[in-house]
Structure 1
Amino acid sequence: MTQKPVLVVLGGLPGSGKTTLARELARATRAVHVRIDTLEQAIVQSSLAVPDAAEAGYAAGARVALDNLRLGLPVVADCVNPVRASQEGWRGVADEAGVRIVEVHVVCSDPVEHRRRVEERVADIPGHRQPTWSDVASRSLDAWPEATVVDTAGRSPAALADEVRALVG
């Protein structure tokens, strides 16, 4: 990544390869990895009565990202980013931090591979319920015209990270 911090937002359906790509990208660039699923699960498991863990997770993730961007660190946000409000929220973080944002919609264009990923993956966040293929296949995402589409089907995490790094410049 460039010397100046940048916010890279990876969004897309579960099983598309976002977290694998986010981890590879964060490792390769020494960026902070902000994973919304981790924050949401911590909120769900807390003793607090939070009516919407997803909304709270995105709010917490945005603040963690902002803190790190202000320290001069690049951030990779790893989330579904399903609605315009979340997409705009990340842009607000970049504006507030005075950094560039790179928005990436991660897809897996091979439905057989995508389904296999969803059905065979093992939860790596204690207590986190993995979505079923039916959950994923029936989920819709708001349009995200600002994002560059990156297709993970049949591609290695290293090649995908290289593609996203090229977007960052």
Structure 2
Amino acid sequence: MIVFSGLPGIGKSTLSRSLLGYGKAVYLRVDSVEAALSNSGLRRVMVEGYAVAYALALDNLRLGHDVVVDCVNPVSETRTAWQEIARQAEANLINVEVSCSDLGEHRRRVEGRFSDAANYVGRWSPPSWEEVLSSCKTYQPWTIPTVQIDLARLTPELAAASLLAELDKLGYTLPNAPAP
């Protein structure tokens, strides 16, 4: 299981989806789960989106599927929960911490999401720049090892190549990935 974590709008979805082309994996995007819950009538989605994603990840890992998770994963409780899912499924867990060190570029990406209708699912929409800045206050530092990738200056292709090289160093090679 590979869990992509980081603030909204930095490029996690683009990067995590790029891995799907190199092998068969189940893709779980917590935003999609939260959108479905919101659109089903749940007034305020809190932990429920993550709880559904944990259950789906565990089911798929137990079936022998690789799982790619795309989420903010902002606090130690969510990070510990992914570790527990991997333990229960007897699966390897790779945490990929995605960042964008260029604040202007991060803002451009966040605001660019609003012009793309694909980012709206019923009542759900991506967070505004102000909401992203507010979420920085509660985003906890990592205390466990992660693969770190800064997307500030990387094209999606270079980011994917960099990530594949890091995964290869950890001994995790995707079946259809180019040789490093």
| TM-score normalised according to structure 1 size | 0.88
CA, structure 1 residues 54+27, in 2 after alignment: closer, same or farther (shift >3 Å)?
farther
Counterpart CA distance in 2 for 1:21 and 1:53 is: 25
Aligned with 2:132 (options 121, 129, 136): 136
Q: Provide, for residues 49-94 of structure 1, a one-character-per-residue CA deviation record: whole Å limited to 9, x for no partner.
A: 46x5231110110111111111211111000001111000000010
Q: Is 2:77 aligned against 1:85?
A: yes
Q: Which residue of 2 aligns with 1:149?
A: 148
Contact 1:82 1:142 in 2 (8 A): yes
Q: Which residue of 2 aligns with 1:37?
A: 31
Corresponding residue SS for 2:79: helix
Counterpart CA distance in 2 for 1:119 and 1:132 is: 7
Say how many residue pairs are matched.
Answer: 161
Corresponding residue SS for 1:72: coil
1:161 Cα deviation (Å)? 2.3
1:159 Cα deviation (Å)? 2.5
Aligned with 2:46 (options 44, 51, 54): 54
**Structure 1: gaps spanning 5 or more residues:** 1-6
Counterpart CA distance in 2 for 1:35 and 1:137 is: 21
Q: Which residue of 2 aligns with 1:3?
A: none
Q: Percent identity?
A: 40
Amino acid corresponding to residue 35 of structure 1 in structure 2: R
| TM-score normalised according to structure 2 size | 0.83
1:123 Cα deviation (Å)? 4.7
Q: Provide, for residues 92-122 of structure 1, a one-character-per-residue CA deviation record: whole Å limited to 9, x for no partner.
A: 0100110110001110111111110001112
Counterpart CA distance in 1 for 2:150 and 2:70 is: 16
Corresponding residue SS for 2:21: helix
Q: Which residue of 2 aligns with 1:4?
A: none
1:26 Cα deviation (Å)? 1.8
Q: Which residue of 2 aligns with 1:72?
A: 64
Contact 1:123 1:129 in 2 (8 A): no
1:164 Cα deviation (Å)? 2.7
Corresponding residue SS for 2:65: coil
